[in-house]
């Protein structure tokens, strides 16, 4: 290829098309064969016999797929690659007058439609799609187009952008009616219902990720009541293990990890608390709308949610999902780093909650979906206005009430003192001082010497609601007024060791230095440039300083290298140790003001605070303190002593010891569009923050002063949003049936798969909303359907008619996920520690896991017997068993895991020390039951492992096998050891059976 | 064409495969590609998912190279001290670089004076390519080498640059080039993975993600091979008694097949059963690889097995292992650096000492590999690539180190399809920036793929609504270095 051509966009588009079209052909040609051949060039397809055309040709289900695959690269939504000014993605475009005369489509008149003429053209220069695209329409596709035009060329928005609707005849329908109709239509034969052993194993694994306990299997098999199945389902829905399984599903979507990866794999503060939040949310059946809202804007909710048991503030913890991304160590281009980070946040947010690939619109309008670059940058503004922050993870209602109470008492005390002063001392002389002139070499960024925090924002409790101005010090014994506090921002309103942050609004760095006058202990001030958090050597070390001084000091930050960048100042008690937030009980920080300046620190920084709305102004405090000092003011408040005492005691209960990395709101920023995705080329106008323009309410700019995340959540939850409920019920279906109704669970766009059962999907979406977004009810509804209860056993003919089992005539066989395999081994061997929640178990490190950031010590081989969800997820040291069995690499949303089949999996089950260890434990536990006969032992093992009884042949096989092994080992061991050894080999073999890792 | 029969596979149905499977354990000899054939059994499923996973293609056109040996010089070799001599540095040694040219932001922001190379350059071979004293052995192979002096990267940080070099993107989580290669071509050997990383002791910054499959199926990730008794994780059977494992596997297979017959058709389970055959065979084929019994003393000596330097000996073993992997048809082999006392090639200080130690560890083994491949006629079909993730600054960091420089560095390729003795591209008089024929990492990927018979614009994988490529939307084949 010549360079000039290949650089052009058309060529790129063409080649993209090559790949795709080629693929379709190959699939068509090859069917299910294993194919290892060389390139197969597509041939002309003029098939005459094909599946009959539908009576009514539907635009979404029959026509659009043809247009997407063959036409949209040049005639789609992206204007930059559009040819002949023709667009076929909208009705107006397709029916508009063509540049060269005529109309592409004349509804009702295929013969007058240029499109029909061109797709049937003989000449290679005229035929569409052009030959160089390697794309050829089949006869059926051409006939479909013709019939559709004849029927009036009805246009519809993409199916997933139309609100779910259930036709009248389906109003009373349940899941099985939809499924059965399709089965009938396709002429398939339904498999019989599975037996009870199979069913309980299926339900237990799919609901809890663990095999059913033997007693439960036996009880269920014996329970002949009509409600036996439902009761069994409810038991698993109520099991705490339910949340553990479904939380892990969710963690795949939000790229869950406990470290930041990149060069040094720094920890993400308290990531596991988010994991625990998820487990609680699923176990408590938190309604999905609330769940979504907490994820997007849990820190902004007017009505916060507290855990009913512990009283813990839950809602803000969910925002940790934003902060689960990769963190770059010392990026030289900090603005690009921000763009990458935000891109990932948009990608994950839109895929997870809307099933849309909005990130495709970073460099240009989406090639296929009605998502514009402006949409992307509208969301970019939302993310850019969002700040990362450590949050208090053990915040609870009691603490909040206490804090309010303390502040109330303090206000009362201050007012009492103020009133008395006002009564006794006149205001003479107050206005004599002149405000000093502001000098020119500095600018005030924040001044806390007055009563308020000067527009800076806080998180947590530590900084209270204002400065300390005018807080009276009263002698604890006599009640004598000693002094009034000067104004300052202070993190010890409730004493030291309290969590909170104080942050300036965004500003543009335009001087060489930032200065903060401050004092404190084991605390930190940071200058956050372009939202960059991993501040440290070699480039960024100067942007953070530790505060450790009892007296006021001036701290200077050299910000000269980042002039022109956006920044804010962060003041917080506590420290980031290797980027992990820690708060010492003694830690506190206080600040008087922050400035930006050039040259030397200004000789005086004038107070900018105006008259105060609280009891005292700054001037009054100065004057009264003078009087107090000189003994000219003599006041006693013995009645306040108890009140002040009580505040001290109350404050002690506000403890902060657990933290999580989440978000808070920054300054509202609208972003320009970055032309071709390059931030160096911003558009002239900014895009207001808003939702996606193709969706309801997508054109209404967000009004919030902060990020607009709450409005984003609300837009997604509007009753007319067509995606939110559909995407979630489809995910649930996917986890239960192994395949979504829309198979591309993260992509409901034009390139995603069409739903196999569109009416069913809509029925479920509507039901989901009607049932208050209850995930448990939805799961219950699905697993009590007949479709779910069908046997997996297939007859030859059946599988040929529906080789991918799209229509669910039988239950799809599937391999268990990595977690279920490992947890199953632990459960069977009775090594499982079913403790819920808590810090992660450190990763077991093999010699193959090297590199920077490697922890000094390895975790235990058996992960302390805890479930896989509690094993640490270190980005740069992912657990090999998990990744080998297809747990996704946590970098973006994966709603559907790959299911690969590689020797490394077999090698793990054959040779991994963990599996060997568990086999031995299992054998020990088995032999400890001395009362069991040989047959009973085998039966015990089968029940635990496969949730069923062994057949006679299986017992025989076992016996034969163990005899052989005994013969092989006999010479070396005495009887007791021999028994254990032989059973160990048997147990190990049992773990290696496909029946153990497949759900059949 | 017959020479490339390995790319032509006869389609084999699952039923056929299974019927071959009926023999006792270990007798199975069906055509299968590590991680590729096994998944291809699931292909029909895969395609039905609409994930856009492209079907296994084989090469787009007749390949020059069947295998790649990627010699990764972790940390960044200094170009002006190795393959890109700059006399002007000697003339202006000790002067302030900011007075001479515009200095970019560097990661350590500790710009010192212009620093001349501590090593002399001499011309070698018929082509007369200048090489510094650091590489006396490689210098004798220059007539087989095409040198590119005009490489650039986009990132001055190791981790981003490593991801970029390995995956074509500076971010974590994209498939590495070895994954793309095996995804596109499969492996030639059924008992050894198609993509192997020989861990010399240093996993580069960014960790194992440099070698991962990203959004491609997990079967395309690299297998890490280490020196020592257990070269690959879980490759050694734990059963102490001979034939015990076979007994167990026969037992497992018997029960599995009974189960399978009861179910009816279940492709996934069929392939899982056949997986055990592969796994079993790997247990012997992999350790056999790392035993050098049949290698002659002369061969070992050629690589530097008799060196006084333990790091040279270690890297020699890696290089010899690489040749053995090539012989066995492994598609893509990467060698990471040995753990010499200096921190990889990343000499922020004490350039002379660090670079000398690193060079000493790799020079003879690499030359040995080139000569050995050549004498066996294998170099014609093997592409050897030597590069770091970026170069180093022509001025000092502090007094005697050099900082990262993504604006210019040298790499070379040798072997299949390469025009030996070529020098391509040019840097300025300081070796700081490229001034002629810039070659990007994408271009390098495109060229490697081209030599392997892959059109880099056509090997795609649908993910997240896009047809992803190793080269994203960039990359041009560097024709000038091709034979």
> In this predicted model, what pLDDT tens digit does every residue of A471-518 receive, in sequence order?
999 998 899 999 999 999 999 999 999 999 999 999 999 999 999 999
User: What are the tokens at A236?
Assistant: 């698993």
Nearest to A749 among B56, B283, B465 (CB): B465
Residue-level pLDDT at A613: 58
Taking the C-alpha atoms of residue B76 and residue B387, their distance in angstroms, rounded to an integer, is 8
Q: Do A746 and A892 meet the contact criterion of CB atoms below 8 Å apart? A: no
Q: Is A814 helix (H, G, I), strand (E, B) or coil?
A: strand
Distances (CA, A) of B273 to A643, A994, B254, B261: 76, 8, 10, 13
Q: Compute how many other C-beta atoms are within 10 angstroms of the C-beta atom of residue A483.
A: 15
Tell me if chain A has a CB within 8 Å of the CB of B160. Answer: yes
Taking the C-alpha atoms of residue B95 and residue B110, their distance in angstroms, rounded to an integer, is 15
Range from A438-447, A890-899, B49-58, B242-251 carrying the lowest mean pLDDT: B49-58
Q: Do B359 and B222 meet the contact criterion of CB atoms below 8 Å apart? A: no
CB-side neighbour CA atoms (13 Å) of A828: 30
> In this predicted model, what pLDDT tens digit does every residue of A861-879 receive, in sequence order?
999 999 999 999 999 999 9
Cα of B469 to nearest chain A Cα, Å: 10
Taking the C-alpha atoms of residue A202 and residue A194, their distance in angstroms, rounded to an integer, is 10
Tell me if chain B has a CB within 8 Å of the CB of A951. Answer: no
Report, as an integer, the average pLDDT of B252-262.
Answer: 90
Residue-level pLDDT at A426: 63
Q: Write down the H helix ranges in A839-974.
A: 880-884, 903-911, 913-927, 934-946, 952-969
Q: Is B403 helix (H, G, I), strand (E, B) or coil?
A: strand
Distances (CA, A) of A350 to A347, A358, A435, B293: 6, 6, 53, 57
Q: Is the pLDDT of residue A121 over 90?
A: no
**Residue A538, preceding bond cis, omega within 30 degrees?**
yes
**Between chains, do B157 and A329 touch, taking CB under 8 Å as contact?**
yes
Size of interface A-B (CB pairs under 8 A): 344
Tell whether ipTM is more than 0.95.
no
Q: Is A390 helix (H, G, I), strand (E, B) or coil?
A: strand
Residue-level pLDDT at A48: 53
| Total residues belonging to chain B | 483
A878: chain B residues, CB-CB within 8 Å: 208
Nearest CA-CA partner of A543 in A562, A518, A566, A564: A562
Distances (CA, A) of A153 to A58, A106, A755: 9, 8, 22
Taking the C-alpha atoms of residue B40 and residue B194, their distance in angstroms, rounded to an integer, is 15
Residue-level pLDDT at A39: 33
Nearest CA-CA partner of A201 in A732, A824, A950, A890: A824
Q: Which residues 345-374 on chain B approach chain A with CB closer than 8 angstroms?
A: none
CB-side neighbour CA atoms (13 Å) of B202: 23
B191 compared with A790, residue with greater pLDDT:
A790
A770-803 as b/e: b if 16+ CB within 10 A: eeebbbbbbbbbbbbbebbbbbbbbeeebbeebe
CA A113 to chain centroid, in Å, comes to 47
Q: Is the pLDDT of residue B42 over 70?
A: no
Q: Do B409 and B153 meet the contact criterion of CB atoms below 8 Å apart? A: yes
Confidence label for A407 from pLDDT (cuts 50, 70 and 90):
very high
Q: Which residue's entry shows tokens 């990267």?
A: B153
Confidence label for B340 from pLDDT (cuts 50, 70 and 90):
confident
Q: Do A171 and A770 meet the contact criterion of CB atoms below 8 Å apart? A: no
Residue-level pLDDT at A1: 36
Percentage of residues in chain B with pLDDT exceeding 90? 60
Nearest to A898 among B217, B272, B282 (CB): B217
Range from A103-107, A546-550, B148-152, B338-342 carrying the lowest mean pLDDT: B338-342
**Between chains, do A743 and B278 touch, taking CB under 8 Å as contact?**
no
User: What are the tokens at A686?
Assistant: 């900014």
Q: Is the pLDDT of residue A271 over 80?
A: yes
Percentage of residues in chain A with pLDDT exceeding 70? 92
**Between chains, do A35 and B38 touch, taking CB under 8 Å as contact?**
no
Q: Do A201 and A211 meet the contact criterion of CB atoms below 8 Å apart? A: yes
Nearest to B233 among A329, A793, A848 (CB): A848
> In this predicted model, what pLDDT tens digit does every residue of B64-97 receive, in sequence order?
999 999 999 999 999 999 999 999 999 999 999 9
Nearest to B244 among A907, A968, A995 (CB): A968
If you measure CA to CA, which chain B residue comes closest to A850? Answer: B203
Handedness of CA B430, B431, B436, B438 (dihedral sign): negative
Report, as an integer, the average pLDDT of B240-257.
Answer: 92
pTM comes to: 0.87
Confidence label for A608 from pLDDT (cuts 50, 70 and 90):
low
Report, as an integer, the average pLDDT of A692-700.
Answer: 94
Which residues 6+ apart lie within 8 Å of B152 measured at CB? B406, B407, B408, B409, B434, B438, B439, B440, B441
Distances (CA, A) of A749 to A287, A351, A723, A743, B220: 26, 10, 10, 12, 28
User: What are the tokens at A606?
Assistant: 């004038």
Tell me if chain A has a CB within 8 Å of the CB of B456. Answer: no
Q: Is B31 helix (H, G, I), strand (E, B) or coil?
A: coil
Taking the C-alpha atoms of residue A297 and residue A500, their distance in angstroms, rounded to an integer, is 19
Nearest to B241 among A15, A36, A969 (CB): A969
Report, as an integer, the average pLDDT of A70-81.
Answer: 83
Tell me if chain B has a CB within 8 Å of the CB of A752. Answer: yes
**Between chains, do B42 and A744 touch, taking CB under 8 Å as contact?**
no
Residue-level pLDDT at A795: 67
Q: Do B289 and B192 meet the contact criterion of CB atoms below 8 Å apart? A: yes
> In this predicted model, what pLDDT tens digit does every residue of B92-104 receive, in sequence order?
999 999 999 999 8
Confidence label for A439 from pLDDT (cuts 50, 70 and 90):
low
> In this predicted model, what pLDDT tens digit does every residue of A763-822 receive, in sequence order?
999 999 999 999 999 999 999 999 999 999 876 666 677 878 899 999 999 999 999 999
Nearest to A850 among B158, B199, B209 (CB): B199
Assigned fold of B67-232+296-481: Alkaline Phosphatase, subunit A (3.40.720)
Tell me if chain A has a CB within 8 Å of the CB of B268. Answer: yes
Report, as an integer, the average pLDDT of A384-395.
Answer: 94
Which residues 6+ apart lie within 8 Å of B131 measured at CB? B82, B83, B121, B122, B124, B138, B139, B142
A595-630 as b/e: b if 16+ CB within 10 A: bbbeeeebeebbbebeebebbbbbbbbbbbbeebee
Strand residues in B336-408 grouped as ranges (E): 382-387, 391-397, 401-405
A890: chain B residues, CB-CB within 8 Å: 173
Taking the C-alpha atoms of residue A977 and residue A181, their distance in angstroms, rounded to an integer, is 60
Report, as an integer, the average pLDDT of A123-131.
Answer: 85
Taking the C-alpha atoms of residue B207 and residue A855, their distance in angstroms, rounded to an integer, is 13
Residue-level pLDDT at A956: 95
Residue-level pLDDT at A32: 35
Residue-level pLDDT at A751: 81
- What does pLDDT average to over chain B? 85
Residue-level pLDDT at B26: 34
**Between chains, do A900 and B35 touch, taking CB under 8 Å as contact?**
yes
Q: Is A594 helix (H, G, I), strand (E, B) or coil?
A: strand
Residue-level pLDDT at B69: 98
Q: Compute how many other C-beta atoms are within 10 angstroms of the C-beta atom of residue A222.
A: 9
> In this predicted model, what pLDDT tens digit does every residue of A1-39 receive, in sequence order?
333 333 333 333 333 333 333 333 333 333 333 333 333
The pairing of strands A671-674 and A682-687 is: antiparallel
A896: chain B residues, CB-CB within 8 Å: 49, 51
Nearest to A994 among B9, B199, B273 (CB): B273
> How is chain B split into domains, by residue range?
12-57+241-283, 67-232+296-481
User: What kind and span of H or E run contains B114?
Assistant: strand B111-114
Tell me if chain B has a CB within 8 Å of the CB of A561. Answer: yes
User: What are the tokens at B207?
Assistant: 């960790």
A195 compared with A100, residue with greater pLDDT:
A195
B163 compared with A6, residue with greater pLDDT:
B163
Q: Is the pLDDT of residue B431 over 90?
A: yes
Range from A307-321, A629-643, A793-807, B6-20 carrying the lowest mean pLDDT: B6-20
Residue-level pLDDT at A435: 52
Handedness of CA A472, A475, A480, A483 (dihedral sign): negative
> In this predicted model, what pLDDT tens digit does every residue of A963-985 receive, in sequence order?
999 998 887 777 778 899 999 99
The pairing of strands A489-490 and A442-447 is: unpaired
**Residue A129, preceding bond cis, omega within 30 degrees?**
yes
Confidence label for A368 from pLDDT (cuts 50, 70 and 90):
confident
**Between chains, do B58 and A36 touch, taking CB under 8 Å as contact?**
yes
Residue-level pLDDT at B32: 30
Report, as an integer, the average pLDDT of A715-719.
Answer: 96
> In this predicted model, what pLDDT tens digit does every residue of A810-835 receive, in sequence order?
999 999 999 999 999 999 999 999 99
Cα of B457 to nearest chain A Cα, Å: 6
Report, as an integer, the average pLDDT of A208-226.
Answer: 97
Report, as an integer, the average pLDDT of A69-90.
Answer: 84
Report, as an integer, the average pLDDT of B227-240.
Answer: 85
Residue-level pLDDT at A551: 96
Distances (CA, A) of B341 to A837, B225, B351: 43, 22, 13
Nearest CA-CA partner of A13 in A73, A66, A68, A69: A73
Q: Do A970 and A978 meet the contact criterion of CB atoms below 8 Å apart? A: yes
Q: Is the pLDDT of residue A120 over 60?
A: yes
Rounded-to-10 torsion of CA B479, B481, B482, B483: 140
Nearest to B473 among A12, A878, A901 (CB): A12
**Between chains, do A38 and B7 touch, taking CB under 8 Å as contact?**
yes
Q: Is the pLDDT of residue B291 over 90?
A: no
Cα of B389 to nearest chain A Cα, Å: 14
Taking the C-alpha atoms of residue A382 and residue A384, their distance in angstroms, rounded to an integer, is 6
User: What are the tokens at A252?
Assistant: 């795949």
> In this predicted model, what pLDDT tens digit does every residue of A585-605 receive, in sequence order?
999 999 999 999 999 998 888
Instruction: Tell me phi and psi for residue A460, to 5 degrees.
Output: 70, -175
Confidence label for A437 from pLDDT (cuts 50, 70 and 90):
low
- What does pLDDT average to over chain A? 89
**Between chains, do A34 and B158 touch, taking CB under 8 Å as contact?**
no
Nearest CA-CA partner of A261 in A878, A848, A843, A892: A878
Q: Is the pLDDT of residue A644 over 60?
A: yes
**Between chains, do A961 and B247 touch, taking CB under 8 Å as contact?**
yes
Report, as an integer, the average pLDDT of A345-360.
Answer: 95
Taking the C-alpha atoms of residue A281 and residue A295, their distance in angstroms, rounded to an integer, is 12
Tell me if chain B has a CB within 8 Å of the CB of A899. Answer: yes
Exposed/middle/buried for A908, CB within 10 Å: 0-12, 13-18, 19+? Answer: buried
**Secondary structure tally for chain B: helices H, strands E:** 13, 17
Confidence label for B284 from pLDDT (cuts 50, 70 and 90):
confident
A559-586 as b/e: b if 16+ CB within 10 A: bebbeebbbbbbbbbbbbeebbbebeee
């Amino acid at each position: 290829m010549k360079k000039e051509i290949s650089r052009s966009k058309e060529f790129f588009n063409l080649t993209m098309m090559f790949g795709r079209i080629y693929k379709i052909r190959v699939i068509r040609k090859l069917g299910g064969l294993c194919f290892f051949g060389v390139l197969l060039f597509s041939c002309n397809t003029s098939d005459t016999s094909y599946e009959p055309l539908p009576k009514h040709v539907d635009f979404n289900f029959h026509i659009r797929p043809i247009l997407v695959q063959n036409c949209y690269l040049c005639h789609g939504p992206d204007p930059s690659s559009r040819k002949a000014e023709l667009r076929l993605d909208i009705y107006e475009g397709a029916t508009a007058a063509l540049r060269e005369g005529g109309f592409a489509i004349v509804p009702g008149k295929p013969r007058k439609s240029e499109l029909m003429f061109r797709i049937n053209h003989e000449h290679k220069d005229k035929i569409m799609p052009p030959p160089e695209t390697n794309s050829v329409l089949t006869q059926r596709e051409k006939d479909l187009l013709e019939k559709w035009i004849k029927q009036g060329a009805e246009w519809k928005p993409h199916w997933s952008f139309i609100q779910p609707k259930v036709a009248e005849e389906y109003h009373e329908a349940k899941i099985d009616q939809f499924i059965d109709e399709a089965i009938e239509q396709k002429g398939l034969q339904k498999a019989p219902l599975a037996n009870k052993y199979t069913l309980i194993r299926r339900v237990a694994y799919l609901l809890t990720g663990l095999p059913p306990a033997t007693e439960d299997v036996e009880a269920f098999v014996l329970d002949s009541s009509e409600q036996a199945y439902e009761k069994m389902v409810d038991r698993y829905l109520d099991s705490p293990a339910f949340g553990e399984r479904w939380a892990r599903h969710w963690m795949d979507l939000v790229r869950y990890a406990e470290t930041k990866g990149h060069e040094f794999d720094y920890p993400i503060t308290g990531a596991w608390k988010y994991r625990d939040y998820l487990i609680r949310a699923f176990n408590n059946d938190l309604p999905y709308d609330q769940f979504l809202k907490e994820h997007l804007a849990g820190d902004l909710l007017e009505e916060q949610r507290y855990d009913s048991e512990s009283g813990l503030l839950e809602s803000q913890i969910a925002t940790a999902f934003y902060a689960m991304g990769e963190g770059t160590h010392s990026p030289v281009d900090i603005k690009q780093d921000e763009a990458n980070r935000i891109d990932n946040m948009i990608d994950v947010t839109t895929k997870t909650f809307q099933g849309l690939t909005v990130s495709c619109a970073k460099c240009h309008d989406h090639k296929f979906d009605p998502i514009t670059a402006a949409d992307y940058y509208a969301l970019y503004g939302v993310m850019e206005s969002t700040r990362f922050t450590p949050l208090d993870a053990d915040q609870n209602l009691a603490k909040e009430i206490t804090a309010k109470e303390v502040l109330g008492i303090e206000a009362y005390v201050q007012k009492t003192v103020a009133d008395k002063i006002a009564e006794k001392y006149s205001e003479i002389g107050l206005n004599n001082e002149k405000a000093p002139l502001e000098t020119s070499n500095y600018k005030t960024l924040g001044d806390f010497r007055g009563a308020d925090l000067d527009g800076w924002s806080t998180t947590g409790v530590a900084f209270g609601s204002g400065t300390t101005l005018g807080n009276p010090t009263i002698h604890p014994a006599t009640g004598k007024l000693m002094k009034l506090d000067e104004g300052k921002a202070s993190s010890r309103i409730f004493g030291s060791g309290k969590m909170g942050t104080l942050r300036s609004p965004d500003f543009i760095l335009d001087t060489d230095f930032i200065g903060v006058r401050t004092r404190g202990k084991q605390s930190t001030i940071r200058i956050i440039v372009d939202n960059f958090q991993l501040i440290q050597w070699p480039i960024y070390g100067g942007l953070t300083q530790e505060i450790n001084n009892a007296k006021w000091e001036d701290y200077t930050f050299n910000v000269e290298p980042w002039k022109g960048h956006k920044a804010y100042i962060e003041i917080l008690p506590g420290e980031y140790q290797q980027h992990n937030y820690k708060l010492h009980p003694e830690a506190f920080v206080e600040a008087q003001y922050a400035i930006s300046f050039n040259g030397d620190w200004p000789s005086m920084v004038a107070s900018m605070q105006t008259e105060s709305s609280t009891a005292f102004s700054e001037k009054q405090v100065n004057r009264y303190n003078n009087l107090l000092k000189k003994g000219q003011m003599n006041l006693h408040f013995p009645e306040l002593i108890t009140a002040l005492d009580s505040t001290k005691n109350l404050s002690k209960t506000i403890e902060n010891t657990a933290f999580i990395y989440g978000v808070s709101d920054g300054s509202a920023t609208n972003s320009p569009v970055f032309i071709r995705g390059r931030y160096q080329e911003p558009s002239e106008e900014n895009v207001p923050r808003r939702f996606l323009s193709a969706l309801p309410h997508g054109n209404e700019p967000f009004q919030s002063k902060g990020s607009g995340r709450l409005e984003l959540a609300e837009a997604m939850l509007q009753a007319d949003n067509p995606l939110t409920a559909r995407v979630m019920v489809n995910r649930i279906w996917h986890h239960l049936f192994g395949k979504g109704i829309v198979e591309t669970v993260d992509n409901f766009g034009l390139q995603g798969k069409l739903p196999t059962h569109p009416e069913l999907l809509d029925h479920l979406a509507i039901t989901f909303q009607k049932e208050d977004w209850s995930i448990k009810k939805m799961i219950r509804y699905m697993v009590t359907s007949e479709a779910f209860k069908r046997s997996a056993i297939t007859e030859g003919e059946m599988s040929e008619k529906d080789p991918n089992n799209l229509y669910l005539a039988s239950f799809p066989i599937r391999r268990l996920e990595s977690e279920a395999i490992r947890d199953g081994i632990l459960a069977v061997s009775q090594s499982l520690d079913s403790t819920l929640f808590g810090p992660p178990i450190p990763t077991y490190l093999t010699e193959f896991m090297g590199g920077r950031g490697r922890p000094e010590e390895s975790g235990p081989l058996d992960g302390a017997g805890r479930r896989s969800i509690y094993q640490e997820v270190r980005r740069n040291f992912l657990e090999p068993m998990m990744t080998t069995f297809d747990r996704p690499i946590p970098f973006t949303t994966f709603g559907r895991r790959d299911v690969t089949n590689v020797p490394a999996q077999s090698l793990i089950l054959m040779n991994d020390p963990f599996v060997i260890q568990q086999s031995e434990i299992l054998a020990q536990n088995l032999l400890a039951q001395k009362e069991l006969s040989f047959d009973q032992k085998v039966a015990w093992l089968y029940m635990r492992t496969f949730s069923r009884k062994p057949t006679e042949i299986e017992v025989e096989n076992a016996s034969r096998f163990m005899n052989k092994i005994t013969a092989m080992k006999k010479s070396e061991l005495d009887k007791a050891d021999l028994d254990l050894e032989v059973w160990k080999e048997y147990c190990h073999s049992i773990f290696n059976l496909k029946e153990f890792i497949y759900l059949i | 064409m017959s020479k490339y029969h390995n790319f032509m596979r006869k389609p084999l149905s699952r039923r056929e495969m299974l019927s071959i499977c009926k023999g006792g354990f270990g007798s199975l000899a069906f055509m299968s590609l590590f991680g590729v054939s096994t998944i291809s059994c699931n292909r029909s499923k895969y395609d039905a998912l609409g994930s856009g996973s492209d079907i296994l293609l084989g090469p787009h056109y007749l390949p020059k190279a069947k295998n790649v040996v990627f010699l990764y010089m972790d940390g960044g070799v200094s170009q002006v001290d190795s393959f890109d001599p700059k006399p002007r540095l000697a003339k202006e040694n000790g002067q302030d670089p900011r007075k001479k040219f515009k200095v970019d932001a560097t990661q350590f922001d500790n710009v010192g004076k212009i620093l001349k190379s501590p090593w002399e350059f001499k011309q070698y071979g018929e082509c007369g390519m200048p090489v510094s004293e650091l590489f006396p052995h490689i210098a004798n192979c220059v007539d087989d080498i095409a040198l590119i002096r005009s490489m650039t990267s986009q990132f001055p940080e190791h981790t981003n640059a490593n991801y970029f070099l390995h995956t074509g993107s500076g971010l974590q989580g994209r498939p590495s080039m070895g994954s793309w290669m095996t995804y596109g071509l499969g492996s030639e050997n059924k008992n050894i993975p198609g993509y192997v990383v020989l861990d010399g002791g240093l996993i580069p910054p960014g960790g194992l993600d440099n070698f991962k499959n990203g959004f491609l199926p997990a079967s395309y990730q690299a297998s890490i091979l280490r020196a020592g008794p257990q070269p690959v994780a879980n490759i050694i059977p734990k059963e102490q008694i001979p034939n015990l494992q076979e007994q167990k596997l026969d037992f497992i297979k018997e029960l599995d097949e009974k189960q399978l017959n009861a179910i009816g058709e279940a492709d996934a389970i069929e392939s899982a059963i056949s997986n055990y055959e592969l796994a079993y065979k790997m247990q012997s084929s992999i350790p056999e690889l790392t035993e050098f019994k049949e290698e002659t003393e002369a061969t070992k000596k050629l690589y530097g097995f008799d060196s006084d330097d333990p790091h040279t000996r270690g890297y020699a073993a890696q290089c010899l292992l690489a040749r053995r992997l090539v012989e066995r048809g492994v598609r893509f082999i990467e060698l990471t650096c040995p753990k010499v006392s200096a921190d990889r090639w990343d000499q922020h200080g004490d350039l002379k000492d660090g670079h000398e130690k690193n060079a000493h560890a790799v020079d003879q083994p690499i030359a040995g590999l080139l000569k050995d491949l050549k004498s066996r006629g294998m170099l014609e079909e093997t592409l050897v690539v030597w590069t770091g993730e970026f170069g180093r600054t022509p001025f000092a960091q502090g007094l005697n180190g050099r900082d990262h420089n993504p604006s210019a560095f040298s790499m070379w390729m040798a072997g299949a399809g390469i025009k030996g003795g070529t020098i391509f591209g040019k840097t300025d008089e300081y070796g700081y920036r490229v001034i002629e024929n810039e070659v990007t990492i994408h271009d390098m990927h495109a060229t490697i793929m081209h030599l392997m018979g892959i059109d880099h614009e056509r090997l795609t994988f649908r993910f997240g609504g896009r047809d992803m490529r190793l080269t994203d939307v960039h990359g041009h084949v560097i024709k000038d270095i091709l034979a």
